[in-house]
């Protein structure tokens, strides 16, 4: 679901299947900074720069929806200094990089327990979502997000309504219910686990684990992952 055949990047390339929805676990910012003898916040800033650069690569390849795991429900347990620096970074990105989203015609959406965020950030998020609401291509940023939390929040919403759920009605209770399931999940930073990311939505996603730390993620890494994805035989429980 969600796949479509993209136009070739150059006449030498054959058309290939690209994921309609790409999800990324942005891992490795802290290690990237530590390797350079810098504070972890330095790695997060470098990671944000990489994400901004990558938005152009995704658009050029015709990827319609991108979800990034920026801050998990568990990340609140990090040292207060690191949490504060990440919140400052989100705030700065929302205030100073909206023009990049508008220029690339990208709709920004936040997925997660947004009520956990400082009120000023909640306001900036709502404003950014309003300004970009008319665009089709989407960037979904998971902040204070946990796959289990999302499922629990959906279950509680169903219970509050006294409803018995089906797969379809449950989907409608998720944070961004109208976004198709991810086709491909990339995790950078060398770890091979899902870390509570899109537990419901990734039921049939393909996974690609990349050793590069997120700030070093390159256009080449993306193309390698996309080539790997294009070669997978997606049966989703059916037969080839």
Residues with catalytic roles: 27, 75
Stretch of 66-74, 116-124, 154-162, 193-201 contacting ligand FPP, by CB under 6 A:
66-74
SS3 category, 106: strand
Query: Which among 180, 236, 215 has a CA at the least distance from the CA of 22?
Result: 180
Stretch of 86-94, 170-178, 199-207, 217-225 contacting ligand FPP, by CB under 6 A:
86-94
Instruction: Please identify, using beta-carbon distances, which residue of 27 and 181 lies nearer to ligand FPP.
Output: 27
From the list 70, 154, 186, 208, which residue makes contact with ligand FPP (rule: CB under 6 A)? 70
Query: 65 pairs with which residues across the strands?
Result: 21, 138
Interface mask toward ligand FPP for 18-37; x: CB under 6 A: --------xxxxxx------
Least spacing, CB of residue 181 vs ligand FPP, in Å: 21
Longest dimension (CA), the chain: 57
CA–CA dist 114, 86 (Å, integer): 15
Residue-wise burial string across 91-118, b where 16 or more C-beta atoms lie within 10 A, e elsewhere: bebbeebbeebeebebbbbbbbbeeebe
Least spacing, CB of residue 135 vs ligand FPP, in Å: 17
From the list 18, 22, 63, 68, which residue makes contact with ligand FPP (rule: CB under 6 A)? 68
Query: Which among 169, 111, 168, 175 has a CA at the least distance from the CA of 143?
Result: 111
SS3 category, 210: coil
* Range list of β-strands (E), the chain: 4-5, 17-18, 21-25, 65-72, 106-111, 137-145, 184-187, 206-209
Instruction: Please identify, using beta-carbon distances, which residue of 87 and 151 lies nearer to ligand FPP.
Output: 87
Least spacing, CB of residue 48 vs ligand FPP, in Å: 4
Interface mask toward ligand FPP for 193-232; x: CB under 6 A: ---------------------x------------------
Expressed in percent and rounded to 5, the helix, strand and coil fractions of the chain are 45, 15, 40
From the list 93, 149, 205, 222, which residue makes contact with ligand FPP (rule: CB under 6 A)? 93
Contact 141, 121 (CB under 8 A): no
In the complex, residue closest to ligand FPP by CB = 30
Residues binding ligand FPP (CB under 6 A): 26-31, 44, 47-48, 51, 68, 70-71, 75, 89-90, 93, 141, 189, 214
């Amino acid at each position: 679901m969600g796949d479509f055949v993209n136009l070739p990047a150059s006449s030498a390339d054959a058309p290939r299947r690209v994921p309609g929805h790409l999800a990324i676990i942005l891992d490795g910012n802290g290690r990237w900074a530590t390797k350079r003898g810098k504070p972890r916040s330095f790695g997060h800033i470098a990671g944000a720069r990489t994400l901004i650069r990558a938005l152009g690569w995704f658009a050029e390849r015709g990827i319609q929806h991108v979800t990034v795991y920026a801050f998990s429900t568990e990340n609140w347990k990090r040292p207060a200094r690191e949490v504060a620096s990440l919140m400052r970074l989100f705030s700065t990105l929302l205030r100073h990089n909206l023009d990049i989203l508008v220029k690339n015609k990208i709709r920004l959406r936040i997925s997660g327990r947004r009520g956990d965020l400082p009120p000023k950030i909640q306001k900036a998020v709502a404003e950014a979502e309003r300004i970009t609401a008319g665009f089709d291509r989407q960037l979904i940023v998971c902040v204070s997000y946990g796959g289990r939390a999302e499922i629990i929040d959906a279950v509680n919403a169903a219970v509050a309504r006294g409803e018995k759920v089906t797969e379809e009605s449950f989907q409608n209770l998720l944070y961004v219910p109208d976004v198709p399931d991810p086709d491909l999940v990339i995790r950078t930073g060398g770890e091979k686990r899902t870390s509570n990311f899109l537990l419901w939505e990734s039921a049939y996603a393909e996974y690609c684990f990349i050793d590069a730390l997120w700030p070093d993620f390159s256009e080449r890494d993306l193309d390698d992952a996309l080539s790997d994805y294009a070669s997978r035989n997606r049966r989703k429980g059916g037969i080839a």
